[in-house]
Amino acid sequence: MRSRAKPTCKALAVLFFAFLACQTALAANAPIRANKGMVVSANAIASEVGAQVLRRGGNAVDAAVATAFALAVVHPTAGNIGGGGFLVFRPDQGEPEAFDFRETAPAASHPNMWLVEGDYDFRKHHMSHAAVGVPGTVAGLHQAWREHGTVRWSTLLKPAIRLAADGFTVTHGLGASLASALPRFAPYPATMAQFSDDGEPLQAGTKLRQPDLARTLRRIAARGPDGFYRGVTAELIVAEMRRGGGLITLDDLAGYRPVKRVPIRGDYRGVGVISMPPPSSGGVALVQMLNILEGYEMSAHGFGSAAAMHVSIEAMRRAYEDRARHLGDSDFNPDIPLARLTGKPYAEKLRDQIALDAASTSATEGFTWPLESEETTHLSVVDKDRNAVSLTYTLEWGYGSGIVVPGGGFLLNNEMGDFNAAPGLTSRRGLIGTEPNLAQPGKRMLSSMSPTIVERDGELLMVTGSPGGRTIINTVLQTIVNVVDFGLNAQAAVDAGRYHHQWMPDQVYVERNGFSPDTLELLRARGHVVAERTAQGRAYVIVVNEEGALEGGVDRRRPDAGAAVHD
């Protein structure tokens, strides 16, 4: 199945020059630049696949589809066909659209499904076949392509099929990631067969071939969603569900539908913000925080200053509290007060609660968040006509459930873990079951994924997004503020240190070495509890500069990330 054969000279040349271009541009916060089009993603190979689509005349949606399928092969920790996500599309002419292909709960789901003899079962909730939601990625990408794509569907899948069938070289980053995941893979023979060398970690330089995945991709290329949700692939999924006690049936798969939604819109210092509505919490919380910050002179406070961080933290605190109390799948929660939460009057009311010299105190009720993995992935695309796509999708945990479908070659998600544990449940871990996000048949679980596009004076300004679980929203917020308020270029906006507050626990997490000790002491003096972490998110950003050229920001927190250009 695998060999240590060297990749072809042609493949090496393509990757070498892509790598060289990236590394040269990344020096000293210099962004990668292009005049026509650009793709930025978590994997340089996948970005190059998307850029080739742009060079051959495809548009941003075409390139996003090709990149996403390529990521399902070369970035298996989060790239996927067995998961789900969100896509925000801003055409150069016309209205923006939001495509919701979040996973759904199988028909047999119910609010108490994570209780075993009355006790909450963490393993069942997050580490079992029952934790697998009905995948949405294939249907969602196809819907976006059907409405806006210009290149043949089968053509867009050819690079991913080739990468799966012929193989690609395992990098140090992927090898280390797979090695760390082997204990989780151990119960699943198909996963071990695909992602290990007879039980031993794959070494950097090894060629990873995935023939079962290639066959699945060929079925999708030939039949569209029917190649996944019906026929051979669907039967393979359901057979694995039956084997492991999962809930997904053939009817669940055949009945899956993506949903086109109206994007959340906001205005911040004269720029328009376009983001994802529920079941994403990202767009609502993002606009709410920006509305609060609009009342402060952020640029006067200064980039990286304690004053700017303080008001941002206070905005985060309030938005995340509202997230917990109000947000869920809007199809099941029709009374979500979206207009109020994203309105300027409400932001003014919240701003009045903020003292400039002292931290607020989060409510003392015993609430902490359900587990939400940080292993998601994002891609940003802009084409020569300035059509733009911001796409975030995920398997939930890194490698999702860890379950590769035997004969199918793809990983299944464990997204059901994003539902709350049970109605009103309070456990030693502090879980609580707020109504809007309890499991129900067909319901989409609440998400923090926040694909976002920013415009100025009717023209595209910025495409941004990030993985990072609950930190996603705050990472996206900071990339926007870094560009709009502090005038940073795309790469500098991505490289800047990040911080996160989510209401509960009442603590600020800051990236280690991202801020001066003096700044952190000033935050503590205001009453903030500050803790360090290694990294927060991995943002992939494109900015249109004042000359109309594209600037790419590649997050160096991810070793295999890269941008590719159409110039």
Segment 373-426, tens digit of pLDDT: 556 899 999 999 999 999 999 999 999 999 999 999 999 999 999 898 888 654
DSSP string, 160-211: HHHHHHH-EEPPHHHHHHHHHHHHHHTT-HHHHHHHSBTTBPPPTT-EE--H
First to last CA, the chain: 38
Place of tokens 């000359």: 547
Amino acid at 361: T
Please report which confidence band the pLDDT of residue 4 belongs to, taking 50, 70 and 90 as the band edges. very low
8 A C-beta contact, residue 181 and residue 402? yes
**Mean pLDDT to the nearest integer, 191-218:** 97
CA 100 to centroid of chain Cα atoms: 13
**Mean pLDDT to the nearest integer, 508-534:** 96
Q: How far apart are CA 18 and CA 552, in angstroms?
A: 14
Q: What is the predicted pLDDT for the residue at 6?
A: 44
| C-alpha dist (Å) from residue 12 to 144, 168, 281, 283 | 32, 11, 41, 40
Please report which confidence band the pLDDT of residue 22 belongs to, taking 50, 70 and 90 as the band edges. very low
Q: What is the predicted pLDDT for the residue at 368?
A: 52
Q: What is the predicted pLDDT for the residue at 365?
A: 55
The overall average pLDDT reported for the chain is: 91
Pick the CATH number of 270-372+448-557 from 3.40.50.300, 3.60.20.40, 3.10.450.50, 3.40.50.2300: 3.60.20.40
Q: What is the predicted pLDDT for the residue at 427?
A: 40
Q: How far apart are CA 223 and CA 142, in angstroms?
A: 11
Give which of 526, 166, 163, 164 is closest to 360, Cα–Cα.
Answer: 526
8 A C-beta contact, residue 114 and residue 124? yes
**Mean pLDDT to the nearest integer, 266-281:** 97
Share of the chain above pLDDT 90, in %: 84
Please report which confidence band the pLDDT of residue 364 belongs to, taking 50, 70 and 90 as the band edges. low
Asked if the model's pLDDT at residue 21 lies above 60, the reply is: no
Q: What is the predicted pLDDT for the residue at 469?
A: 78
Q: Which of 5-19, 203-217, 351-365 has the lowest mean pLDDT?
A: 5-19
Q: What is the predicted pLDDT for the residue at 125?
A: 94
**Mean pLDDT to the nearest integer, 362-381:** 69
8 A C-beta contact, residue 203 and residue 166? no
Quick: pLDDT tens for 123-137. Answer: 999 999 999 999 999
Q: What is the predicted pLDDT for the residue at 10?
A: 46
* Domain ranges for the chain: 270-372+448-557
Q: How far apart are CA 304 and CA 514, in angstroms?
A: 9
DSSP string, 360-408: -----SS--PPP--S-EEEEEEE-TT--EEEEEEE-SSTTTTS-BPTTT
Q: Which of 251-255, 335-339, 504-508 has the lowest mean pLDDT?
A: 504-508
For CA atoms 101, 228, 374, 299, give the dihedral sign: negative
Asked if the model's pLDDT at residue 30 lies above 60, the reply is: yes
Quick: pLDDT tens for 171-193. Answer: 999 999 999 999 999 999 999 99
**Mean pLDDT to the nearest integer, 35-55:** 98
8 A C-beta contact, residue 418 and residue 370? yes
The pair of three-digit structure tokens given for residue 561, joined into one six-digit string: 């990330």
Q: How far apart are CA 473 and CA 290, in angstroms?
A: 11
Q: What is the predicted pLDDT for the residue at 505?
A: 83
- What sections of 454-563 are H helices per DSSP? 472-484, 490-495, 517-525
Three-state DSSP string of 337-371: CHHHHCCHHHHHHHHCCCECCECCCCCCCCCCCCC
Q: What is the predicted pLDDT for the residue at 424?
A: 65
More confident residue, 430 or 306: 306
Please report which confidence band the pLDDT of residue 5 belongs to, taking 50, 70 and 90 as the band edges. very low
- What sections of 226-305 are H helices per DSSP? 226-229, 231-244, 250-254, 282-293, 298-301
Amino acid at 438: L
* Strands in 452-547 per DSSP E: 452-456, 459-464, 499-500, 508-511, 530-533, 540-544
CA 421 to centroid of chain Cα atoms: 22
Q: Whole-prediction pTM value?
A: 0.92
Q: Which residues contact 154 (CB under 8 A, 6 or more apart)?
A: 221, 222
Please tell me which residue in 376, 377, 394, 464 is annotated as part of the active site: 376
Q: How far apart are CA 438 and CA 329, in angstroms?
A: 10
Please report which confidence band the pLDDT of residue 11 belongs to, taking 50, 70 and 90 as the band edges. very low
8 A C-beta contact, residue 63 and residue 51? yes
| 67 catalytically annotated | no
Q: What is the predicted pLDDT for the residue at 28?
A: 60
Q: What is the predicted pLDDT for the residue at 26?
A: 42
Around 30, how many Cα atoms within 13 Å sit in the side-chain half-sphere? 11
